[in-house]
Chains A and B, each alone.
Chain A
Amino acid sequence: MTPAKAGVPTIAEASRQIASKKLSPVELLEGCLARVERLQPKLHAFITLTAERAREEARAAERAIMKGGPKSPLRGIPLGLKDIIDTAGLLTTSQSRHLIDNVPAEDAAVAARFRDAGSVLVGKLATHEFAFGGPSFDLPWPPARNPWNPEHFTGGSSSGTAAAVASGMVLGGLGSDTGGSIRAPAALCGITGLKPTYGRVSRRGVFPLAFSLDHVGPMAWTAEDCAILLLALAGHDPRDPASADVPVDNYTARLNEPIRGVRIGVVRHWFEKDNKAEDQTVRAIDVALAVLKDLGAIVREVILSPLADWFAAGMIILLSEGYSVHERWFKSSPERYGESFRDRLAMGALLSAADYLPALRRRRELADEMAAAFTEVDILVSAAQPGEAAPIREVPKWSLFEAPSFAMPFNVSGAPAMSVCCGFGAKGLPLALQLAARPFDEATLLRVAHAYERVTGWRKARPPD
């Protein structure tokens, strides 16, 4: 662990410096590109680097600022996109041979929002194949590596975004989350990742994994940065059938409000019994809860259905919907998939309506149960991961069936949830807790995460170069 890298500001810091003309977007980008040149060979975070396009965008941002000041906090900010997100005229592969030459004609809604906000696209970032298989060593691109120790797993599937943000190759980026794919890599790479409410951010132009569980969301160094990114992303999109027409809060305006009186429910049985986390994780969560109490939050324990119930409903839905997306390729050219994705998603072919419908029925019961819990608390806390990242070569293909994930309950319910770094383990790798809020209350979620990050020192350390 090293002190914060010189030249890697947060989005908030860079935005303020750009606005006051103390930092040039061109200089900021060149710092990121220098880190890409140095770190990409060992971290493999990028599938496609768009350096020249980024330089043009940074120069355009600089001109716009010199003319009249930034109209957006993202103007001139270097960002990256998970490679399942369409970008007009740019290779978008989903890290799969099936899309090895795929160049979309149109930007995904979220890519267009970032572009319209004046941000700088540094490149397209590694993912597990189609956001589900992995880590895979039999694809045309290697898996991303954890910047804290490249021999260790990033988590997935938004692996490249987590690695690029943690190492300062970009200041922020986008991931997708169907069963934890934003929150797991954010946790294991020591950054902050937010899965918004289902329907809060458009999925148009993002390759689907499971329609009713898919979310797109921000990954950045801090909760404050996630708030800035979410503000640019959130809003109704009539071209996404799941998009919600619900007013968007000003996430950054309320960020510094005190959290005194916020009611926090700890779902302790999920990480102490249902999927027992390492002792060091439990201790780190307890310390974090003490910090939140000191800030004035009211902490109590909450009992919900066993983690395995949430996981079972979510996984049956994910595999059923996912296979329906891929059935054509499974029939015509299954050999083009990597082993991990192919073997895992094949399970969806073996499920019937008699499996899928009960999962949807259980989902309704569980979502209602969580809604009831949110009448008594404002925030739910659990673990984000059981412990530190495993060595990347030791991640079993069927790990997804081995233990129920802490992330899945919030894909099942659609409630917003985020991973926040809460320390470092014995191997020097990040530990994280998970915070969640009631649907469309990202403002409270971000406020609590921001309050925690401000009074703890975890955001001061960056991975070594």
Chain B
Amino acid sequence: MTPEEFAALARQAGLTLRPGSEKEMAAAYERLMELAQRVRAAQAEPAHVFRPPDTPLKGEKL
């Protein structure tokens, strides 16, 4: 991704970048997209509820 492409993406997201930061931010963004790609294939139900394993919520029977 070029610094110019990154600057356009950032503008679209409503970000105001530090002057002159586009090049390093574009490189960091590429790394971020690698991380995002790494989890893309996950199939499980999202981990949106936290409770201790084997501990029922109030009124729930496991």
Chain A residues within 8 Å of B, Cβ to Cβ = 197-199, 212, 242, 244, 246, 308-309, 311-313, 315-316, 319, 330-331, 334, 339, 342-344, 346-347, 349-351, 355, 357-365, 367-368, 371, 397-398, 401, 414, 438-440
A358 and B52 alpha carbons, distance in the complex (Å): 22
Q: A309-B39, A313-B39 are in contact. Are A364 and B28 (CB under 8 A)?
A: no
A123 and B9 alpha carbons, distance in the complex (Å): 43
A346:B44 contact, CB within 8 angstroms: no
A349 and B11 alpha carbons, distance in the complex (Å): 10
Q: A319-B32, A349-B15, A398-B24 are in contact. Are A246 and B55 (CB under 8 A)?
A: yes
> 10 tightest A-B contacts by CB?
A360-B46, A362-B42, A361-B42, A364-B44, A364-B47, A312-B38, A362-B39, A363-B47, A312-B35, A349-B13
Shortest Cβ distance from A341 into chain B, in angstroms? Answer: 12
29 cross-chain CB contacts under 8 A:
A197-B52, A199-B51, A312-B36, A315-B32, A316-B39, A319-B32, A331-B14, A334-B15, A347-B29, A347-B32, A349-B13, A349-B14, A350-B13, A350-B29, A358-B39, A358-B40, A359-B39, A360-B47, A360-B48, A361-B43, A363-B47, A364-B44, A364-B45, A364-B46, A367-B47, A368-B44, A397-B24, A401-B32, A401-B35
B31:A398 contact, CB within 8 angstroms: yes
The listed residue (A199, A346, A371) touching B53 by CB distance below 8 A is A371
B46:A361 contact, CB within 8 angstroms: yes
A242 and B28 alpha carbons, distance in the complex (Å): 32
B50:A414 contact, CB within 8 angstroms: yes
A242:B50 contact, CB within 8 angstroms: yes
The listed residue (B9, B18, B43) touching A350 by CB distance below 8 A is B9
Given contacts A312-B36, A349-B13, A362-B44, 7 further A-B contacts (CB under 8 A): A199-B52, A311-B35, A316-B36, A346-B10, A361-B47, A398-B28, A398-B31
Which chain A residues lie closer than 8 Å to B36 at the CB level? 312, 316, 351, 355, 358-359
Identify the closest chain A residue to B25 (Cβ): A343
Shortest Cβ distance from A178 into chain B, in angstroms? Answer: 15
Which chain A residues lie closer than 8 Å to B28 at the CB level? 343-344, 347, 398, 401
The listed residue (B15, B16, B27, B32) touching A351 by CB distance below 8 A is B32
The listed residue (A244, A309, A331, A355) touching B51 by CB distance below 8 A is A244
A197 and B53 alpha carbons, distance in the complex (Å): 12
Which chain A residues lie closer than 8 Å to B40 at the CB level? 358
Which chain A residues lie closer than 8 Å to B52 at the CB level? 197, 199, 244, 246, 439-440
- Interface membership of B2, Cβ < 8 A: no
A365 and B50 alpha carbons, distance in the complex (Å): 14
Identify the closest chain A residue to B37 (Cβ): A312
Identify the closest chain A residue to B17 (Cβ): A346
Which chain B residues lie closer than 8 Å to A315 at the CB level? 32, 35
Q: A357-B46, A361-B45, A398-B28 are in contact. Are A350 and B39 (CB under 8 A)?
A: no
Identify the closest chain A residue to B14 (Cβ): A331
A199 and B57 alpha carbons, distance in the complex (Å): 14
B15:A330 contact, CB within 8 angstroms: yes
Which chain A residues lie closer than 8 Å to B41 at the CB level? 358
Chain B residues within 8 Å of A, Cβ to Cβ = 9-10, 13-18, 21, 24-25, 27-29, 31-32, 35-36, 38-48, 50-53, 55
Which chain B residues lie closer than 8 Å to A312 at the CB level? 35-36, 38-39
A346 and B7 alpha carbons, distance in the complex (Å): 12
Identify the closest chain B residue to A413 (Cβ): B47
Identify the closest chain A residue to B48 (Cβ): A360
A198 and B55 alpha carbons, distance in the complex (Å): 14
Identify the closest chain A residue to B45 (Cβ): A364
A212 and B39 alpha carbons, distance in the complex (Å): 17
Which chain A residues lie closer than 8 Å to B42 at the CB level? 313, 358-359, 361-362, 364-365
Which chain A residues lie closer than 8 Å to B16 at the CB level? 330, 334
Identify the closest chain A residue to B9 (Cβ): A350
Identify the closest chain B residue to A245 (Cβ): B58
Q: A358-B39, A371-B53 are in contact. Are A342 and B18 (CB under 8 A)?
A: yes
Identify the closest chain A residue to B46 (Cβ): A360
Identify the closest chain B residue to A212 (Cβ): B50
A313 and B43 alpha carbons, distance in the complex (Å): 13
Q: A358-B40, A365-B44 are in contact. Are A346 and B50 (CB under 8 A)?
A: no
Which chain B residues lie closer than 8 Å to A355 at the CB level? 36, 39
B50:A350 contact, CB within 8 angstroms: no
A308 and B27 alpha carbons, distance in the complex (Å): 18
Shortest Cβ distance from B3 into chain A, in angstroms? Answer: 14
Which chain A residues lie closer than 8 Å to B45 at the CB level? 361, 364
A342 and B21 alpha carbons, distance in the complex (Å): 11
A360 and B47 alpha carbons, distance in the complex (Å): 5
Identify the closest chain A residue to B16 (Cβ): A334
B39:A361 contact, CB within 8 angstroms: yes
A319 and B15 alpha carbons, distance in the complex (Å): 15
